Every structure is written in C-alpha cells, then in structure tokens.
C-alpha cells in the first residue's frame, strides 16, 4: 500500500489519500487462489450432487433411517 501526500504546506488530514497498488505477484496469487477455489467447488458439487444422495440411498436400502436436523 502506498500513501501519497500533497506538498508539506498542503499536508492536512483532508488532503491525505491512500492508493492500493496491485502488483503482478498479487495478481498471480489471486489467479492461483481462484483456480484452487474452482477445484474445491467442483469437488464439493460432485459430493453434494452425486456421492451424498447415493450414500443416503445405500443407507435406506439397508434399513438405516436418515434425518436432517438443523
């Protein structure tokens, strides 16, 4: 983060501003996080849409009662 200020004569609290500069490294790390999040989201979707219902069905076929309690 870079703090930019006016000249010494104009340096009042109202004139001080903060700019956030995004670096190439930050952009690259963000892209990596997005890829990792997409992979985790895909795995979650697979579990919720396929594995969990199949597991519940297997339990029902074997006489186990399932119930969701908030």
Q: Would you give the distance in Å from CA 59 to the centre of its chain?
A: 33
Residue 9 pLDDT > 60: no
pTM, two decimal places:
0.54
Q: Are 3 and 16 in contact (CB under 8 A)?
A: yes
Section 40-68 average pLDDT: 91
* pLDDT confidence of residue 30: 92
Geometric angle at alpha carbon 36, from 35 and 38, rounded to 5°: 65
Work out the pLDDT band at 70, boundaries 50, 70, 90: confident
């Amino acid at each position: 983060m870079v703090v930019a200020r006016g000249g010494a004569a104009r340096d009042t609290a109202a004139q001080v501003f903060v700019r956030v500069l995004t670096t190439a490294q930050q952009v690259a790390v963000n892209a990596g996080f997005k890829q990792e999040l997409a992979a985790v989201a895909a795995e979650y979707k697979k579990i919720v849409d396929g594995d969990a219902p199949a597991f519940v069905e297997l339990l029902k076929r074997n006489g186990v009662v399932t119930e969701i309690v908030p």
